[in-house]
Amino acid sequence: MSNSKSSPILQEATIGGLLLKNRVVMAPMTRSRSDDAGVPPDYAADYYAQRADAGLIITEATNISAQARGYPRTPGIWTSEHIKAWKHVTEAVHRREGKIFLQLWHTGRMSHPDIHAGALPVAPSSIKPAGQIRVQDGMKDFVTPRALATDEIPLIVEEYRRAAENAKLAGFDGVEVHSANNYLLEQFIRDSTNHRSDRYGGSVENRLRFPLDVVKAVIDVWGADRVGIRISPVTTTPGDTPLDSNTMETYGAYVDALSRLGLLYIHDIEGVTQLSREASEGISFTDLRKRFKGAYIANNQYTLALAEKTLAAGDADLFSIGRPFIANPDLVERLRTGAPLAEAPKEYWYGGDANGYSNWPRMNGQSAIDQ
């Protein structure tokens, strides 16, 4: 990442009614440090507060319900214990004058019966993903999920609503709806994973109905100006096969509908940005950005120089960065000064304890704890 003390990326920015320290967003990253009940550890407050120099922090994906879980030791937001633990996090971030949104998550078919006491994961249709998933005792093959009954779907919408209410009780500044990475909402959107014949399947309008109902429920709680959404138009299924027969038509309609709802931002996983923003599957990210009235967060391997170029072209407003934040709690300052970035070994990415999570030193060697 290039050195630029006066970079516009590192200067204050406003989206909606939010004044941000800079245009750098800490991307949501699953770190699997919660306990078996999904309660974040005490040291999660250190981890997030250390990174509060980001303009906006988006938390790791957080399960809206017990049914939503797909992986061991991922956090939740459906109990009073979850609210209490997350409140420690938000208070710590706010003490450092940071802004933090909670990402709301349901994994759908990207799960396993081992996570659900033997019960099948749920999905729009009974279509098995290719490949394997990590469970408590290692990797296991995906299973064929159970298709949700029509009358179950509004109940999940209400679980999103309650999760949004709990996020407000926990002191977050807003929420991001996770509608990416082939999790439940995206499984409804895509015609390869949604073969339903009821009001939630078939046409693009029907396939978008459930995700948009979720977004509307969350807006009812927060107001549209404190709600964002993450999308991944060029996602492939496990096994690297395309997910949609007409990706641009589907996502054009989705972004148009989200824009009409007045959302604060869309957070777009753009594929390999260094190669092209006009990515595979016939998607034009520039067109999607133009179709959306709110802010646009670009994601995927952005460097400071690439972010500056993209901002100057008017193709994005904010830029989310993931992996570099793991080992660099002071990432924004390192970008500002051109200091080298530390690299986190892969064994620290998922699972474990505070080691490799909240104990990375700042660039001057000073402990990041209590900063």
CB 243 within 8 A of CB 190: yes
Q: What angle do CA 60, 82, 52 make, to 5 degrees?
A: 45
Tokens in use for 79?
């109990």
At 35, the amino acid letter reads D
Say which residues have a Cβ less than 8 Å from residue 129's Cβ, sequence separation at least 6: 109, 110, 142, 182, 237, 238, 239
Distance CA 60, CA 230 (A): 12
Give the SS3 label for residue 29: coil
Mind telling me the catalytic residues?
A: 183
In the block, tokens 């004058």 appear at 97
Distance CA 348, CA 361 (A): 15
Q: What are the residues facing 231 on neighbouring strands? A: 179, 268
φ, ψ at 42 (rounded to 5°): -55, -35
Give the SS3 label for residue 134: strand
In 10 A of CB 171, how many CB atoms?
A: 17
